Chain A
Amino acid sequence: MTIIAENPIKAVAPPSQVQQKVIASLQKRHRKERLFRSLGLSAVLISLALVAVLFVNIFAKGMPAFWQSAITLDIYFDPKIIKVEEKPVQQAGESDNDFRQRDLAWQTQLGFINFNRLITDSLQQILPDASKHRRDLARVVTSGERFALRDMVVADPSIIGQTRTLHLLTDANIDVWLKGNIDRSLPDEQQQLSPKMREWVDKLAADGVITSRFSLALFMNPDSRSSLASAGLAGAFMGSFYMMLVVILLAVPMGVAAAIYLEEFAPRNRITDLVEVNINNLAAVPSIVFGLLGASVLIGWFNLPMSAPIVGGLVLSLMTLPTVIIATRSTLKAIPPSIRQAALGLGASKMQAIFHHVLPLAIPGILTGAILGVAQALGETAPLLLIGMKSFVASVPASPFEQATALPVQIYLWQGNELRNFFEARTSAAIIVLLMMMLSLNGLAIWLRKKYEKRW
């Protein structure tokens, strides 16, 4: 530059040595820029391609699991098989406890009834050679459906003596066979179904008796191991729901309150600096450490129950807290000081200025931070493994204190199930459900931000 300034006339003349140098260096720099751009673009493309591969893989594996083989049967609720007294009704003057005892006694009676007979009797009508293969016959419908029949009787005893057309889930291995998840050309000794069973199933499927129906079981049932075909996500879903409830009730208000205090009220001194550094450190603590804390402190000292969503929720709250605090603080920082000054100038107290003017403007940002924190907590698995939430739970929890699993843990459990042919698809289906929930939470966060965001 100094050279050009000293010799201004030379610039017009044909390219001098200096200009050639400049041109060459310019080309070099442009080349570098192009290289950098293409590197960046290919990095983006590669990561997109990897995400696409992952999604295509999961969806290709998981989508079929949303439909499941079910058999359409006319079930006759045979009074000769279902021999029970009339369902007890609460008498006038009878205490609740007495009635409960009588009702339990009645249900115990039902427990002795072989509801499988209703199913096999109905199957015998449509399978002519059934009586010779009774073992196979009992395995067509998955074993959990007998409880569904029992529950129908409990709900409405007048059904006894009537015939109902029902869609019952078939055994998991039948679903595997019909979906082609097992190689059909394998010899008998490597097949899960007997030759007779395979013949029946193919015939019933061709006749339209066994059809592929949308799997409500996947959403309505808790996990199952005795009746694999009816294993579902309801228990894990409710477990996750309760945990998120605890996180929303605990981490969000505490995080927001802490952030407001730190940002607006706290004096700037060494102690607050220390607190600030520690919050940032807390955000970087690996989640499994929180699990260890939960196992030793919450379960060990506070005697909270094992495998319960309340403990999971508390642990995840701790994990989410720094995320919420950091998001809230940065939102508060982004609000122009003029808003505060205007409010203070008009005579508002500091608290009024913050709660009437600053906080309403910060709410979209706080919500976004909170939702992202909750979404992160929803997908967290490691700390839950340590507080006993990877147990097999075959019931839907009715409160946060009852044993439950969570959606990501359910994925882990199904991944470990020994009937691989059936559960590979089921696992991917559970992943799809979890992914959809995360995507919708993130979508909600984006929508809230777009709708209420103010720019200055």
Chain B
Amino acid sequence: MAEERREKEKDIVRKRKENAVVVSQEELAEGIFSMWIHTEAALSAAPGQFISIYTSDDSRLLPRPISICEMNRKEGNLRVVYRVTGKHTGTEQFSRLRKGDTVPVIGPLGNGFPLEKAQGKKVFLIGGGIGVPPLLELAKQIVCEKKQIVVGYRDKHTFLKEEFEKNGTLYISTEDGSVGTMGNVLDAVRENALEADIIYACGPTPMLRAVKAYAEEKDIVCYVSMEERMACGIGACLGCVCKTVEKDQHSNVHNRRICKDGPVFLAAEVEL
């Protein structure tokens, strides 16, 4: 057994931390940045996966897990849209990167949205806040009968609006009512009398909780992309677990790793 494995080791193409090259950087809305990078990760990435991005400052050791917003396989480019979380943060440092700069990344990581489940169905793509960006590549790739994109923002500082409009029917909610429906994403669903057979959602936990409850009430399948503080990003450290309804096979307890087993889960299988 050991011999066999050792032989195999010679042929393994290992994953690695790679220096991606920044292609472009722009601020889409206040504190929300869009960065295209040239990276090997673009070649195999799927909607809903994420990449770990490292700062160039060795006193900040941990990678920042950021969901993939869009990719261009032909050019080997990948786009992340992220929020700068404050002064002196890793994300602030990323926002200062310019075309030609390098940035260390690992990816793609995690499991994305199951696209095949949408075939022939009426679909909701529901996103809230900084959970909106990963829905863009999903909207571009998903094949379904009816593509209804429902996204919620805090106020009039929306982002990616025009790009979503090109890839489905867009409904917007804002907390202050400045754009679209006043309230949350489910208020927008109700106001527009929308219906769906399957939901794909990404956003803050309170939103996911409400979407899960809505899906249960309507008895429809719902996938959620979850978020948690991560350390390794590859499933080793057990930092980013979520609670599961059933005992998980890997952990042997009611926990699953968001980075490795997720970040996309069937809503019915996780506690929110």
User: Is chain B found bound to chain A in the same assembly?
Assistant: no
Chain A residues within CB distance 8 Å of chain B: none
